[in-house]
């Protein structure tokens, strides 16, 4: 515990964990999309598009444009949908998310708790998803993007900050005010340059599976860097193996060429094939003249 400088009550540090590519491999959104497809909420084409975006996200991280597009699309999709209907998707979503959690990150979270530091999921995913995962993982709470609910149905409009870029810091400050948390003594874990406001709002920033820009900034800031997601490395290895295989075939041709260089007859044989000897006529032997 530390005392607030202005003397208004005790405060404590907290640890904030981003979800996608930080607590888990890939994006939780793809599992929501699959569950929505299975219940007829979205089309197969939309599901395929979301799967592609998930792979791209794992390899390159998030962008502002894609985040805005996702929020708009989800708002349109849930407009008018009963809250209970989305709640019933939870078992399907959890079945996809839980196996993709990083054990190393759960160990980190539980180590914070054991040291008396409360742990929160901080994600652009829905508040319902954040609450559900926080409950299942025995975290102290979840901070997600809230959607407006009227008469038990979603309106498609936001009901609070979108937890992306500065929006995450707004949610952190709201919690800090309610729970007496000192952000300047706290911890934050994330993978993306878009979460720089979140990482800079705390004393202890840790980057996990960082995108290129965040990796550069982490080096400049001296932040701890964790590499857990091996998908990008596996794809690079496969690409390298393919290139080596192709070069190997080319190398054999070149080596054969180099081996025959300086021997015109050998080069001629490679070009036109082996030379055939003229055939000899086999027949009765001529009698010698006397």
Q: Is 18 considered catalytic here?
A: yes
Residue 40, Ramachandran bin (φ over 0: left; ψ between -120 and 50: alpha; else beta): left
Phi, psi torsion values for 99, nearest 5 degrees? -65, -15
Phi, psi torsion values for 201, nearest 5 degrees? -80, -10
Query: The pTM is what?
Result: 0.70
Q: Given the DSSP bridges, would you call strands 147-150 and 119-126 parallel, antiparallel or unpaired?
A: unpaired
Q: Is 20 considered catalytic here?
A: yes
The burial of 246, by beta-carbon neighbours within 10 Å (0-12 exposed, 13-18 middle, 19 or more buried), is given as exposed
Q: Are 23 and 17 in contact (CB under 8 A)?
A: yes
pLDDT in tens, 69-83: 666 777 777 889 899
pLDDT in tens, 191-236: 999 999 999 999 999 999 999 999 999 999 999 999 996 654 444 4
Choose, from 20, 50, 182, 229, the residue flagged as catalytic: 20
Mean pLDDT of 43-55: 56
Q: Are 172 and 200 in contact (CB under 8 A)?
A: no
**290 has a pLDDT exceeding 80:** no
User: Residue 161: its pLDDT value, please?
Assistant: 85
For tokens 């080069």, what's the residue? 267
Determine how many CB atoms are found less than 10 A away from the CB of residue 7: 6
Q: Are 109 and 121 in contact (CB under 8 A)?
A: no
Higher pLDDT, 146 or 254: 146
CATH number listed for the domain at residues 10-229: 3.40.50.1000
User: Residue 70: its pLDDT value, please?
Assistant: 63
Percent of the chain with pLDDT over 70: 64
What residues does each domain of the chain span? 10-229, 233-272
Q: Are 199 and 190 in contact (CB under 8 A)?
A: yes
Q: How far apart are the first and last CA of the chain?
A: 131
């Amino acid at each position: 515990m530390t005392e607030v400088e202005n003397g208004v009550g005790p405060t404590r540090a907290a640890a904030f964990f981003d979800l996608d590519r930080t607590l888990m491999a890939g994006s939780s959104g793809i599992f929501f999309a699959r569950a929505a497809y299975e219940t007829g909420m979205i089309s197969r084409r939309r599901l395929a598009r979301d799967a592609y975006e998930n792979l791209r996200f794992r390899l390159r991280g998030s962008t502002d444009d894609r985040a805005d597009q996702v929020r708009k699309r989800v708002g349109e999709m849930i407009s008018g949908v009963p809250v209970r209907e989305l709640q019933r998707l939870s078992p399907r979503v959890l079945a996809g998310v839980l196996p993709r959690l990083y054990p190393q990150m759960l160990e980190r979270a539980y180590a914070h708790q054991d040291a008396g530091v409360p742990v929160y999921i901080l994600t652009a995913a829905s508040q319902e998803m954040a609450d559900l995962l926080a409950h299942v993982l025995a975290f102290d709470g979840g901070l997600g993007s809230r959607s407006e609910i009227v008469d038990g149905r979603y309106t498609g409009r936001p009901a609070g900050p979108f937890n992306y870029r500065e929006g995450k810091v707004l949610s952190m400050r709201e919690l800090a005010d309610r729970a007496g948390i000192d952000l300047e003594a706290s911890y934050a874990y994330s993978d993306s340059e878009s979460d720089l406001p979140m990482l800079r709002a705390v004393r202890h920033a840790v980057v996990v599976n960082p995108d290129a820009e965040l990796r550069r900034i982490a080096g400049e800031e001296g932040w701890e860097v964790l590499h857990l997601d091996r998908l990008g490395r596996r794809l690079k290895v496969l690409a390298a193996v393919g290139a080596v295989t192709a070069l190997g075939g080319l190398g054999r041709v070149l080596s054969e060429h180099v081996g025959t260089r300086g021997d015109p007859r050998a080069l001629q044989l490679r070009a036109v094939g082996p030379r055939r000897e003229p055939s000899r006529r086999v027949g009765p032997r001529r009698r010698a003249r006397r």
